[in-house]
Structure formats: structure tokens, C-alpha cells
């Protein structure tokens, strides 16, 4: 979003990201350990320029 301000522009914006990942790895041969993991990530970004 941008708006005129004095002799320039005021602009600002934002962003949000969310990731939810589930890994289910089963090694039937028993060479590696099984893995059951859940990864959750959040990110927020805000920008304001004049």
C-alpha cells in the first residue's frame, strides 16, 4: 500500500508464511531408524518506507 506524503510516498506492506510438514519414514530392512517428525514454521515480515 502506498500513499503520498509530503514530497514523497509512504509505503508499507506485510507478509506471513506458515508451513506444517509431517515426515513418516519407515525402513522395513532395519538399516536406518524409522523417523516420524513434525516440522512447524512461522514467519512474519513488515516493511515501512518513507
Tell me the per-residue pLDDT of 16-48, one tens digit each, with 9 for 90 and over.
999 999 999 898 898 889 888 999 999 988 877
CB burial of 2-26 (b: ≥16 within 10 Å; e: otherwise) equals eeeeeeeeeeeeeeeeeeeeeeeee
Chain mean position to CA 19: 6
Alpha carbon distances (Å) from 19 to 24, 36, 40: 16, 17, 6
List, in order, residues 6 or more apart from 21 with CB less than 8 Å away: 38, 39, 40
Confidence of residue 10 (pLDDT cuts 50, 70, 90): confident
pLDDT of residue 47: 79
pLDDT of residue 50: 65
Tell me if the pTM is above 0.75.
Answer: no
Amino acid at each position: 500500500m502506498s500513499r503520498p506524503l509530503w514530497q514523497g510516498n509512504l509505503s508499507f506492506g506485510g507478509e506471513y508464511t506458515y508451513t506444517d510438514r509431517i515426515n513418516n519414514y519407515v525402513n522395513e530392512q532395519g538399516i536406518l531408524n524409522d523417523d516420524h517428525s513434525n516440522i512447524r514454521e512461522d514467519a512474519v515480515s513488515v516493511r515501512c518506507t518513507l
